[in-house]
Amino acid sequence: MTAFNWRCEAVDGRARAGVLETAHGPVATPTFMPVGTVGTVKAMTMDAVRSTGAGIVLGNTYHLMLRPGAERVRALGGLHRMMDWPGPILTDSGGFQVMSLGALRKLDQDGVTFQSHIDGSKHRLDPERSTAIQYVLDATITMCFDECPALPAEAEAIAASMRLSMRWAARSREAFVQREGYGQFGIVQGGVEPELRAESAKALCDIGFEGYAIGGLAVGEGQELMFATLDVTTPLLPGDKPRYLMGVGTPDDLLGGVERGVDMFDCVMPTRAGRTARAYNERGTLNLRNARFATDARPISPDCDCLACSRHSRAYLHHLFRADEILGPMLLTWHNLAYYQRMMRGLRAAIIAGDLAAHGAALRAAWAQGDWTEDEWPQPSIPPVP
């Protein structure tokens, strides 16, 4: 068996390239993790997810415990077998989803009682139960159960919430069953207050985890404050452990996170955008519902080898979305995930080459430029039939 371990291969400024070794195989970092909330990356087969180069995917404790149920997942061979993803899986603890339930949940010092968003049935999650469910699901990486306050909030409320999360982190660690190649991540909280982030990072490092996540960001504070918070947080985390920025973000957010020493990201953005006709590429974003794409025979990107770009035009995708055809979301999700993975591979290569500053500047300049004009387009505008 392989020990759970993150090995650093190269450093460029504060950015790191490395390899995360797990019981379910290695993951090259920095990495973007597609979100498979209920045991599926929406609109994608797992072969398609694999073809984009994804190394690890997410599952969600809250959703899977309600449906189909953790014991059902175990009876079906565990989450890896059930969804046909033998690679590493990280499961969210359910804390964030439960907190988002608003009036449907009641928080106490011990845990959270809530009503299912599906049928109104009553459930409870606390650090011990969340950790046990993630064990039953067979998560490669288990997340601590924590509370995530919405921003903006008073510093006092953020502090009380963070300290509660740190007590819960100690209980989550206590409940975690050590297995070769499996790991558990603590989650740094503390809003955008540097001293609270420092207190939280120290509390987690004193407990000791296989990796450290930065939570409670991308919840409305804006990119500038998010980056400022990363600037004060990542230097406080152990240099030999992986760092995961939760729920982030746009390509530009990912670049800024990598530059600040983050190794792992997850976000619904590329998959959700793929279902709503928004495409990411080297020149920013396109809304394929826009009438100007009705006659655009070019693929979404000249540099992409995904199924959408190698076989289909923007005009065809525009038609699929206009006609509400299910193939539209499938093809565009595939493309967006392919773009995110290609961008992450590019960042990793740039870190290894010691070239991240120039590479990042070139990415930002191209995003700002907007779509290729016909003159700039580097190849014939109708893709050849393979």
* Residues with catalytic roles: 92, 266
Question: How many residues bind to Zn ion according to rule CB under 5 A?
Answer: 5
What CA–CA distance (Å, rounded) separates 335 from 321? 15
Whichever of 179 and 311 has its CB closer to Zn ion, that residue is 311
Per-residue three-class SS string for the chain: CCCCEEEEEEEECCEEEEEEECCCCCEEECEEECECCCCCCCCCCHHHHHHCCCCCEEEEHHHHHHCCCHHHHHHCCHHHHHHCCCCCEEEECCHHHHHCCHHHEEECCCCEEEECCCCCCEEEECHHHHHHHHHHHCCCEEECCCCCCCCCCCHHHHHHHHHHHHHHHHHHHHHCCCCCCCEEEEEECCCCCHHHHHHHHHHHHHHCCCEEEECCCCCCCCHHHHHHHHHHHHHHCCCCCCEEECCECCHHHHHHHHHCCCCEEECCHHHHHHHCCEEEECCEEEECCCHHHCCCCCCCCCCCCCHHHHHCCHHHHHHHHHCCCCHHHHHHHHHHHHHHHHHHHHHHHHHHHCCHHHHHHHHHHHHHHCCCCCCCCCCCCCCCCC
Whichever of 309 and 356 has its CB closer to Zn ion, that residue is 309
Whichever of 237 and 286 has its CB closer to Zn ion, that residue is 286
- Exposure on the CB side of residue 226, measured as CA atoms within 13 A: 26
Q: Which of residues 277-316 bind Zn ion (CB under 5 A)?
A: 304, 306, 308-309
Whichever of 100 and 276 has its CB closer to Zn ion, that residue is 276
Whichever of 52 and 93 has its CB closer to Zn ion, that residue is 52
Rounded least distance, CB 51 to Zn ion, Å: 11
Q: Which one of the spans 29-37, 108-116, 335-343, 366-374 is the region binding Zn ion (CB under 5 A)?
A: 335-343
Closest CA to 126 of 94, 101, 162: 94
Q: Which one of the spans 107-115, 162-170, 230-238, 334-342 is the region binding Zn ion (CB under 5 A)?
A: 334-342
Whichever of 31 and 301 has its CB closer to Zn ion, that residue is 301
Q: Which one of the spans 147-155, 175-183, 203-211, 333-341 is the region binding Zn ion (CB under 5 A)?
A: 333-341
Closest CA to 29 of 172, 141, 131: 141
Pick from 335, 336, 351, 367: which binds Zn ion (CB under 5 A)?
335
Tokens of 137: 């699901």
318 binds Zn ion (CB under 5 A): no
Rounded least distance, CB 335 to Zn ion, Å: 4
Rounded least distance, CB 15 to Zn ion, Å: 26
Whichever of 286 and 309 has its CB closer to Zn ion, that residue is 309
Rounded least distance, CB 211 to Zn ion, Å: 31
Rounded least distance, CB 310 to Zn ion, Å: 7
Rounded least distance, CB 305 to Zn ion, Å: 7
Rounded least distance, CB 326 to Zn ion, Å: 18
Which residues contact Zn ion by CB under 5 A? Answer: 304, 306, 308-309, 335
